[in-house]
Amino acid sequence: MSQATELSRGITQLGLDITPEAQQKLLAYLALLQKWNKVYNLTAIRDPQQMVSHHLLDSLAVLPHLWSGRWLDVGCGAGLPGLVLAAVRPEWSFAMLDSNSKKTSFVQQAAIEMGLQNVSVHCARVEDFAPLQPFDGIISRAFAEAVDFVTLTRHLLANDGRWAAMKGAPAQELKRLPSDVAVLANLPLRVPGLDAARSLVILKAE
């Protein structure tokens, strides 16, 4: 099965409506990721088919549970999930943050080649990052344990903003959250082609 077919089928299984143009951008992103990965080692996944499920569909699975506004993808790595979300939600803005300059160089190039006007890329440690405005949502896919995620990024979240943590099975992590952080939702996700526990945890400071 081609990457395009697998992506299209997975999007249907997720119940999403994503334009052919946006799907082309996602496939262009994967092609670029495969090319750069040979030199920069951006992802441990080498198989092109696995990249569709483990990267694209895994990132898209959270989409129905997110909200419009200004987003920060903290510890964005190779641009997941931020670049994927930016491609399908051009009306939202995404700041991509990582302290690894090789990864932010790739993300910057990918955003240009994908033609994304709603992405900014920042190479900095999260504690040193000082944007002009706080964010409506802060998302992470593999950044840190939940308690570190909220502690390190609290200064970046708007007063009515929320965190979105992409996790496996997070029950134990959530027990260690600060007492003034509430779990608004712990949503199990089914990702087509991915045989692993996945969930999205939405958090808010009280």
Query: Which superfamily is assigned to 3-205 in CATH?
Result: Vaccinia Virus protein VP39 (3.40.50.150)
pLDDT value, residue 24: 96
Please report, in angstroms and rounded to a whole number, the separation of the first and last CA atoms in the chain: 47
pLDDT value, residue 171: 82
Q: Is 21 labelled as part of a ligand binding site?
A: no
pLDDT value, residue 161: 98
DSSP string spanning 4-71? HHHHHHHHHHTT----HHHHHHHHHHHHHHHHHHHHH---S---HHHHIIIIIIHHHTTGGG--SSEE
With contact defined as beta carbons under 8 Å apart, do 64 and 185 qualify?
no
Q: Is 79 labelled as part of a ligand binding site?
A: no
- Contacts (Cβ under 8 Å, ≥6 apart) of 55: 30, 33, 43, 45, 80, 84
Helices (H) and strands (E) in the chain, counts: 8, 7
Q: Where are the domains of the chain?
A: 3-205
- Specify the pTM: 0.95
Q: Is 187 labelled as part of a ligand binding site?
A: no
The token pair that represents 160 in the structure block: 């009515």
Q: Is 39 labelled as part of a ligand binding site?
A: no
pLDDT value, residue 44: 67
Beta-bridge partner residues of 202: 164, 185
pLDDT value, residue 80: 95
Q: Is 27 labelled as part of a ligand binding site?
A: no
pLDDT value, residue 34: 87
Mean pLDDT in order along the chain per 10 residues (206 residues):
92 96 96 83 71 90 97 96 97 97 95 97 96 97 91 96 94 92 96 91 95
pLDDT value, residue 38: 76
pLDDT value, residue 49: 73
